[in-house]
Structure 1
Amino acid sequence: MNRRRVTGAVAGALLAGLGLSALMMAGEKKTGKPSELADLERRAADRLGRDTPPADRLPDVGEQTLTQGGHLLLSAIAGASYAAATDEEAAIISSGILFGLAFYGLAHWLAGPLLGVKEPEWRSGGRTIAMHAVNHIAFGLATAAGAAIASTSGSPRS
């Protein structure tokens, strides 16, 4: 496996993960309500028998660090997974979209509900499903672009 490509995929995934984390944290400040990611972290902590803050309280610095750190760790793992699952000839757009949708399906439609930390995605409204799909497509495209840019000396393939 090409180390530069793996590094690029992880970097692209981390960049996208940071962007999505920033959007969620900005949403918390705007609405005064914890983000979906904070809710997910709290449900996971509760399932592990850990004390959690009241559902309507915004995360403090420690909780935000744990929540966003976990999100970025998952982003890095996903980036490495992209590099392992695709070859160097993979087109950025098609592989990025497919990867983003596959990751979305795995996280929101399977793993989250099966682990009991997220309501099944099919119970969400159409706007929520569309927003999650678009966010994960953007994540997949950033991951694919990072891999392509790092592994080629010329311009990336589209």
Structure 2
Amino acid sequence: MSARRTTGAVAGGIVAGLAITVLLMRGEKTSGTPSELVDLERTSARKLGMATPPADRLAAPGEQAIVQGGHLLLSAGAALVYAAATDEDSDVLVSGIGFGLAFYTAMHWLTGPLLGVKPPEWKADAGTIGMHTLNHVGFGLATAAGARLAARA
């Protein structure tokens, strides 16, 4: 596993994570309701016995920093997994799409529901499933492209 390729994957994953963060925060401003990430953070905090703001209250800047910082750390960690699980010759489209779908499945279909921090994805409407799928495919492609670009630089 080359350091340059790994760094590129992490950079691509963080860029994609930032893009998703922007979309979620814009959605909060438009709708006036907390994003799914804020809901996840609050549900997790309650499971740990911590007090949380009311469910309908938008996140204050400090809470938002924790939520989005955690999201970016998860993006970086997932990108490290991509770099470790693929090689330099991996096709960007195939590996990026495959990784994005695998990460989506792991987080939304398995881990979140098993931990009890989010409703099972199979109970979501088609629009939500489609949005989550596209976001994670984009994440996988950005991660794969970052790895490829860095490896060839």
Q: In structure 1, what is the equivalent of residue 142 of structure 2?
A: 142
| CA RMSD after TM alignment | 0.5
- Render the CA deviation track for 1:100-157: whole Å, top value 9, x for unaligned: 000000000000000110100000011111110000000000000000000013xxxx
Q: Helix, strand or coil: the match of 1:64?
A: helix
Deviation at 1:57, TM superposition (A): 0.2
Identity %: 61
Q: In structure 2, what is the equivalent of residue 156 of structure 1?
A: none
Deviation at 1:59, TM superposition (A): 0.1
Give the Cα separation in 1 of the matches to 2:53 and 2:74.
23
TM-score (norm 1): 0.96
Give the Cα separation in 1 of the matches to 2:42 and 2:26.
19
TM-score (norm 2): 0.99
Q: Helix, strand or coil: the match of 1:51?
A: coil
Q: Helix, strand or coil: the match of 2:59?
A: coil
Q: In structure 2, what is the equivalent of residue 122 of structure 1?
A: 122
Give the letter aligned to residue 77 of structure 1. G
User: Tell me, which stretches of 5 or more residues in structure 2 are unaligned?
Assistant: none
Q: In structure 2, what is the equivalent of residue 9 of structure 1?
A: 9
User: Tell me, which stretches of 5 or more residues in structure 1 are unaligned?
Assistant: 154-158
Q: Helix, strand or coil: the match of 1:94?
A: helix
Deviation at 1:62, TM superposition (A): 0.6
What pairs with 1:87-126 in structure 2 (closer than 5 Å)?
87-126=87-126
Q: In structure 2, what is the equivalent of residue 152 of structure 1?
A: 152
Give the letter aligned to residue 78 of structure 2. A
Deviation at 1:28, TM superposition (A): 0.3
After TM superposition, which residue ranges in structure 1, 4 or more long, deviate above 4 angstroms?
none
Q: In structure 2, what is the equivalent of residue 83 of structure 1?
A: 83
Q: In structure 1, what is the equivalent of residue 29 of structure 2?
A: 29
